[in-house]
């Protein structure tokens, strides 16, 4: 089983749609969780951290379910500019490493 698993997509959605991505992780000792955004042929950039209580930043909501070991990202009112690959990132437990998922590709259509 991969340490971090994501549905690769692509998710093709119309503008204004709500879309949700899930990510599962295998290490129950993981404590830190993040969503990064990567535009085509660019470097990843932090979108948001994921806290136990869940957190929201504008149109973006992140949730953590420790019992089931998954995190989610919800994007409301999708914009064309949201088109990118969304990377789920989890810390490697006792190590000083971050484990990156393969990413989920989102394509927002006009």
Partner 1 sequence: DGGITQSPKYLFRKEGQNVTLSCEQNLNHDAMYWYRQDPGQGLRLIYYSQIVNDFQKGDIAEGYSVSREKKESFPLTVTSAQKNPTAFYLCASSSGRAYTGELFFGEGSRLTVL
Please report whether residue 21 would count as binding partner 1 according to CB under 8 A: no
Residue the block writes with tokens 């136990």: 52
Residue nearer to partner 1 on the CB measure, 26 or 102: 102
Q: Which of 19, 99, 106, 108 binds partner 1 (CB under 8 A)?
A: 99
Residue 100 binds to partner 1 (criterion: CB under 8 A): yes
CB 44 within 8 A of CB 38: yes
**Binding range to partner 1, per CB under 8 A, among 12-20, 40-48, 66-74, 75-83:** 40-48
Contact stretch for partner 1 (CB under 8 A) within 11-19, 51-59, 61-69, 99-107? 99-107
User: Which tokens sit at 91?
Assistant: 């810390």
Nearer to partner 1, 33 or 108 (CB): 33
Considering the rule CB under 8 A, would residue 98 count as an interface residue with partner 1?
yes
């Amino acid at each position: 089983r991969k340490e971090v698993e994501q549905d690769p997509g692509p998710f093709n959605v119309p503008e204004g749609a709500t879309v949700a991505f899930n990510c599962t992780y295998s290490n129950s000792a993981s404590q830190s969780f993040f969503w990064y955004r990567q535009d085509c042929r660019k470097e990843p950039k932090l979108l948001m951290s994921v806290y136990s209580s869940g957190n929201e930043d504008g149109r973006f909501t992140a949730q953590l379910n420790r019992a089931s070991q998954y995190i989610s990202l919800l994007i409301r009112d999708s914009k064309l500019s949201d088109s990118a690959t969304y990377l789920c990132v989890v810390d490697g437990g006792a190590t000083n490493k971050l484990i990156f998922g393969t990413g989920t590709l989102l394509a927002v259509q006009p």
